[in-house]
Structure 1
Amino acid sequence: MTGAPALYPCTVAHVRTGPRRYALRHRTYLWLIDPDRPPRLPAALRPLARFDARDHFTGDHPTLRAGLDAFLATHGMSLDGGRVLMLTHARVFGYVFNPLTLYWCHGPAGDLRCVVAEVHNTYGGRHAYLLTPEATEGTGVDKEFYVSPFFPVDGHYRMRLPSPGDRLALTVHLDREGGRAFTATVRGSRREATAVALLRQALRHPLSTLVVSAAIRFHGIRLYLRGLPVQPRPDHPSTPEKAT
């Protein structure tokens, strides 16, 4: 387990199988960082990548790690100072949208104690799921958070979230009554997080986090125009807009 930050150019694919089949894919890039030691970039590159504690969990903790530790404490869990790997989008020119941020949480001896999957929706809401170490091979958790306006808050996620190495290979299924309703995959390859590598990704995917957010809304409009009914959104704690 290395503490050096890394970049993962990747392809994100969504396949909706019910009530109407719809598929999409887009390319982006993600960061793998140690939240205790976020990357320190040259001043000229800082607009391309910033990691703020306000963008995660309740948003009111002084550091990324403090927010994670506070969440774990609500579940009676402590890492006892162990290392964490965090896979996420960074703020790009002051804007961030993170559909899914993952934390692989280890004990002091390097043993994987849990995986935290933090989900954000386009309405400003956040929710985190605490998963057992078996999430690296595939584990399930009940859906508790409104994400897509076309799915109610029901069903069961099955997640396969192996810790990133040379390859990134994540899979999330949503199973509802009647069968599998949705599958999301993320596939990518590791790159050393050098200035040149970051510039290359920023040029290939300009305003990457804004593009991700806009693409979700665009595809939502397409589904709505195709007649997919919108599900009522339940009350859920929300957070302020992510733009500075």
Structure 2
Amino acid sequence: MRQPNKYPKCTSSTVALSHRHVSANPVMPSQLVVDVCVTVLCVSLSAFLRARSPAGRPHDSTGPLSRAYILRNQVTHARLLPVESVHAFTYSTLCLLMSLNALEEHRLDLGGGWIFGYGGIWGRIVGLRSKPYLTTQPGTIRNKLEMLLGERGLANVFTDTWMMTMPAFMGFEGINPLTVYFCYDEKEEFCLVVLEIHNTFGESHVHVLQVGTNEDEIPATGYDHQWTFCREFHVSPFNDRSGFYEVSVNNPTHPPTSTHFISAPAPRPAVRVHLYTAGEDSTKGQLKLTALLRPTSATPLTASSLLFAVIQAPFSLLLTLPRILYVAWVLHYTKKLDVFLRPPPRPATKDWDAGISDTSSPSLAGGVKWLKEGTLEYFARRRVEGFLGRRVNETGIKVIFIAADPSIPQRTFSPSAPPRSCLTISYLSSQIFTIFFLTPSAKHALLLGSDSEDIFHVSSRSLFLSVFSTTTKISLPSSPSSPRLSPKPRPSYPVWLQRTRCQNLPRTLASSIPTTHFLDSDTLWDWIVCAAAIYTHRYLDALEKWLFTLARARIVEGQEPWLQWQRAAELAMSDGGFASWSRSLSGASVVERKGPVGMWAKIGSVRQES
């Protein structure tokens, strides 16, 4: 019997994005030669098949079971709110529905792996590999799926899975917005669905939906199952993360490995997603967005059928990103919707900010792939780790770093003697380390990174200051230009670096700044490296603002990255000024980031009025 779904409490959180990092796989000359040969082969074989094939699209019907199918899908998206920005569009896609067991046993490879193959994407027309799917851990797709379900208390629940996904084409892996795993147990009964959602930043999120658990009482007409749950993942820049998803699923006609079916209709699993706004008392509000993925045909995967499908729609596997960019252009410049910057994914483990990093008890939904650490973040992290390796022995305080990203192990810094206390720092993004490096003091780091931008949380604010504070302090002059830290004619390198850090600091936050920074040392080489890092970060900040200005892109008010110090200053002033805020550091601050106001707060989108 289905257990009725009770809507969980859902809140919205938005965090400013600093810098985006894009990586590309190098293409070797030998790979290019192979791809040219494969292209010629594809065109030749496809022309031969087209000449011999009957007119019209290949059709699917009841017949012997296959372990894989080519699905031609019709995808429809519709935005209903705000009503002034209503927009809808429909397009076709091509994807594969495969038995995961057969895929990983290489029983689906075609043409010796040249036409289709699992394990790589180069040197074949259509390919698929495990790296882009699920977690960043090494292993096969099945191993990753088993690990993910096992961490959620669902170990050994499935024997085989229909995997519905878009493969790579000619070595190019496009954005795969949605991969669906239809899992079957040892009795060949449909037991759960795993939705793997990807965004354009390289992040991914999973929802594990169990049959008969937290299902809606009555699914939508034409669908077998339906679940309603909180929206948690940033997918569209024109919506915040508030609201509820209602997911309706029409599961495949038969399991991928079957002893009970000799023949059956070709499976056409459909997925419908409705996004509702957050109503009062954590209930569904208005219908805001709809998305429907509906197969129009399903053909058994063979060499001839795959080549025929590719020649009919050669660019269908390459157009996902161009479509996303085009629709984003329409919504922003024509429909006048403002942009929500990407916040870090929400933690994948329960009680993350309470200092518990036990990954054996994550929620059924959560982030599984984060943005990779950038060069400046790596540099800053290494300096923080080097500092803490010495500092914990001076203070006797044990320091633990817990990342929201489950792929980052817990980092612990312990003194040689038994610790007198323990400080736990839980963080959403590696941006925490650049905040430590770029802010002039521990108080400023706490104000900006914890209270204002909500990048990290600490178990004790007083212990945080004890670990990361220095004692020598100065005050900046009242003149807003050219702040000077000392009357010395030749200041030391660390003092000069502090001057640099203070250049963009609001005057209301410029009191009692330490003469030196806890991460700096008085050597020429250290000064050169740190100065280069500071000015590189400042250049990237300026470049980001310039690009948004050049594109005339509008960011939701209160999320502009270049105004983060202004927001921090306003927060401190609301508490009576920076000095008064500093005196209250022993308490816990709960700060809501500025977001949509008025009518926009109810629908999670902001529209620029004419």
TM-score (norm 1): 0.91
**In structure 2, what is the equivalent of residue 233 of structure 1?**
342
Match of 2:90 in 1: 25
Q: What residue number does 1:162 align with?
A: 250
Alignment of 1:138-177 (within 5 A): 138-165=226-253, 166=266, 167-177=268-278
Offset of residue 229 of structure 1? 0.9
**Structure-2-length-normalised TM-score:** 0.38
Cα distance in 1 for residues equivalent to 2:69 and 2:96: 6
Deviation at 1:200, TM superposition (A): 1.9
Q: What is the rounded CA distance, in whole Å, between the counterparts of 1:104 and 1:61 in structure 2?
A: 22
Q: How does 1:87-126 map to 2 (within 5 A)?
A: 87-94=164-171, 95-126=173-204
Q: CA deviation at 1:3?
A: 5.8
Q: Quick one: which of 138, 147, 151 aligns to 1:74?
A: 151
* Residues 158-215 of structure 1, C-alpha deviations (whole Å, 9 max, x = no match): 1111223433432111111340111111121211112222112212222433201221
User: Which structure is higher in helix share?
Assistant: 2
Structure 1 residues 6 and 108: CA distance shift in structure 2, 3 A? same
Which structure carries more relative contact order (alpha carbon 8 Å, separation 6+)?
A: 1
- 1 CA distance for matches of 2:230 and 2:164? 22
User: Which position in structure 2 is the counterpart of 1:41?
Assistant: 110
**Match among 287, 298, 307 for residue 180 of structure 1:** 287
Q: Distance in 1 between matches of 2:158 and 2:140?
A: 14
Partner Cα distance (2:133, 2:191) in 1? 20
Shift of 1:235: 1.1
What's the secondary structure of 2:101's corresponding residue? coil
Sort the Cα spacing of 1:36 and 1:17 in 2 relative to 1 into closer, same or farther, 3 A.
same
Q: Which amino acid aligns with 1:183?
A: T
Offset, 1:148: 0.5
Task: Check whether the contact 2:158–2:183 (CA below 8 A) recurs between aligned residues.
Answer: no
Structure 1 unmatched runs, 5+: none
Segments of structure 2 that go 5 or more residues without pairing to the other structure are 1-64, 117-123, 216-223, 254-265, 279-284, 346-368, 373-610
The answer to whether 1:130 aligns with 2:208 is yes
The AA in structure 1 aligned to 2:154 is M
Alpha-carbon separation, structure 2, partners of 1:128 and 1:90: 19
| Match in the other structure for 1:193 | 301
RMSD (Å) for aligned C-alpha atoms: 2.0
Asked whether the 8 Å contact 1:92–1:208 carries over to 2, the reply is no
Change (3 A) 1:55 1:239: farther
> Retained in 2: the 8 A contact 1:34–1:85?
yes
Letter in 1 for 2:209: L
Partner residue in 1 for 2:328: 220
The separation in 2 between residues aligned to 1:209 and 1:125, in whole angstroms, is: 20
Separation in 1, partners of 2:236, 2:93? 20
Structure 1 stretches (4+) deviating beyond 4 angstroms? none
Q: 1:103: how far off? A: 0.6
Q: Residue 108 and residue 200 in structure 1: after superposition, are their counterparts in 2 closer, same or farther (change >3 A)? A: same
Residues 138, 194 of structure 1: alpha-carbon distance in 2 compared, 3 angstrom cutoff: same
Matched letter for residue 247 of structure 2:
M
Equivalent in the alignment of 1:83: 160
Q: Which amino acid letter does the alignment assign opposite residue 84 of structure 1?
A: T
Structure 1 position 4 matched with structure 2 position 74: no
Q: Cα offset for 1:81?
A: 5.3
SS, match of residue 50 in structure 1: strand
Deviation at 1:61, TM superposition (A): 2.9
| Distance (whole Å) between structure 1 residues aligned to residue 87 and residue 157 of structure 2 | 44
Q: CA deviation at 1:224?
A: 0.9
Identity of aligned residues (%): 27
Larger radius of gyration: 2
Which letter does structure 2 place at the counterpart of 1:139? W
